[in-house]
Structure 1
Amino acid sequence: MNEIWAVVHAEREALIRDLETVPPERWATPSLCPGWDVHDVVAHLADDAKTTRLSFLLRLAAARFDFDRYNSAGVARERAGEPQRTLASFRAASRRTTGAPAPKATRLVEAFVHGEDIRRPLGLSRDYPVAHVTAALRYQLGAGVALGGGKERAHGLRLMATDAAIDVGEGPEVRGTTLALLLAASGRPVNSDELTGPGVPALTRDGGLHHG
């Protein structure tokens, strides 16, 4: 778990560095996360970093065990009027090692997927550690969509990574980097040249493909 936290902390710090140079008006850019802009996702990350097992359980109960309501309340709690205040809140919590009572790999999923939710619409890029993106992808492929995973999206498909030893499932093939596969399995749109194979339309039917 210490290794996972080291990766999460590094990803948080890298994202904070990237966001420090983003003008306030660009924080209103729609993210890859449906219904949230960049500011919302940063607020969610700040809230997530501050979450403890107890606060998660209490707030989930207050949200009547509705995860969408729970997440919306967290965004409202952390989203400040000025983007830099939200960023300062995220920065202050970035080294924490608390979280909801969930599998360790969810920390990696949050870091990589939300990192791309923010970076791609802003035209930013990052080289993520492939071994840990692979761990996040394997988790997503085993977790149901209702829990934020991608098991149903990948069902009946063979996913093959071009940059790691990933070859899972049976059916029409989908080839791409571990990051592209992770995003698609998580219901996020990817660029049309990032995935190839006859299974692409099935995997991307939720998030879709960006062309151009």
Structure 2
Amino acid sequence: MTLSATQHWTLIHAERARLAALLDTLTAPQWRSGSLCSIWTVEQVTAHLTAAAHTGRWGWLRSMVLAGFDSDTHNARRLAEQLGSTPEETRRRFHEAVDLTIAPTPDHPAWLGEVIVHGQDIARPLGMALEPDPMAVLEVARYFVSKDFAVNSRTAVRGLHLEADDASFSSGEGPSVRGPLLSLVMAMAGRPGALDELAGEGVAELRGRIT
């Protein structure tokens, strides 16, 4: 079933709210902790998500042009705009962005994936549970195997057979990569740690592609 834009936004808002609830529980040291995005702290990932929620088509294009089409420079500048003077301010700004419906392109599953993946980037190093809606994870998985956008997910799994052991999802032909659907999504997003949760003769090949 193909979801409508409204249905996608409902899922995006729900995942942002889920992450916001987790952020409400963090201590000052946890805000300063490293995330799975090795160059960013938990607070910086949060600011990045807030910036993404405020970036529409023309704002994105203008920012990319000014950054010389360097996505790292673009992301760093937008993150800095939303990084508060304190973690509390950063947290508040993210809360205020939860229900926004702004995006630079109509690739709604990609923006859903950004919230889910970055939510795990925050939660996993802290040893905290953050369980996204299974329907949302399935939507992201289907998108990631079909298109390279923001992350080179389709390229990463080309020639491999992916199969979830906790959801009705399989894709591709070739050496097998099996495991929890969220772990497959995280691996497709280039998070090597997720590979430890996967099995199959294709895991070694996938590891070589994303590390």
TM-score, normalised with respect to structure 1:
0.91
* Contact 2:156–2:210 (Cα < 8 Å) also in 1: no
Residue among 36, 43, 57 paired with 1:32? 36
* Contact 1:24–1:82 (Cα < 8 Å) also in 2: no
CA distance in 1, matches of 2:6, 2:44: 28
Aligned letter for 2:69? Answer: F
- Structure 1 position 165, deviation (Å): 2.1
Aligned letter for 2:128? Answer: L
5+ residue gaps, structure 2, are none
CA distance in 2, matches of 1:68, 1:4: 26
Deviates more, 1:167-176 or 1:186-195: 186-195
Give runs of aligned pairs for residues 58-207 of structure 1, distance below 5 A. Answer: 58-144=62-148, 147-191=150-194, 193-205=196-208
Which residue does 1:19 correspond to in 2?
Answer: 23
SS in 1 for 2:145: helix
Question: Residues 207 and 24 from structure 1, CA distance in 2 versus in 1: closer, same or farther, beyond 3 angstroms?
Answer: farther
* Contact 1:141–1:149 (Cα < 8 Å) also in 2: no
Aligned letter for 1:196? Answer: A
Q: Sequence identity, in percent?
A: 35
Aligned letter for 2:190? Answer: G
CA distance in 1, matches of 2:37, 2:207: 14
Aligned letter for 1:108? Answer: L
* Contact 2:175–2:201 (Cα < 8 Å) also in 1: yes
- Structure 1 position 58, deviation (Å): 1.2
Residues 161-185 of structure 1, C-alpha deviations (whole Å, 9 max, x = no match): 1122222111110101110000001
* Contact 2:151–2:190 (Cα < 8 Å) also in 1: no
Aligned letter for 2:121? Answer: D
CA distance in 1, matches of 2:63, 2:197: 38
Question: Residues 53 and 191 from structure 1, CA distance in 2 versus in 1: closer, same or farther, beyond 3 angstroms?
Answer: closer
Q: CA RMSD in A?
A: 1.7
CA distance in 1, matches of 2:209, 2:25: 32
- Structure 1 position 207, deviation (Å): 5.4
5+ residue gaps, structure 1, are none
Residues 147-167 of structure 1, C-alpha deviations (whole Å, 9 max, x = no match): 323112111211011122222
CA distance in 2, matches of 1:62, 1:192: 36
CA distance in 1, matches of 2:63, 2:194: 36
- Structure 1 position 50, deviation (Å): 1.1
- Structure 1 position 53, deviation (Å): 1.6
SS in 1 for 2:208: coil
**Number of residue pairs matched by the alignment:** 207
- Structure 1 position 107, deviation (Å): 1.7
TM-score, normalised with respect to structure 2:
0.91
Aligned letter for 2:100? Answer: R
Question: Residues 193 and 52 from structure 1, CA distance in 2 versus in 1: closer, same or farther, beyond 3 angstroms?
Answer: closer
CA distance in 1, matches of 2:141, 2:194: 18
* Contact 2:165–2:181 (Cα < 8 Å) also in 1: yes
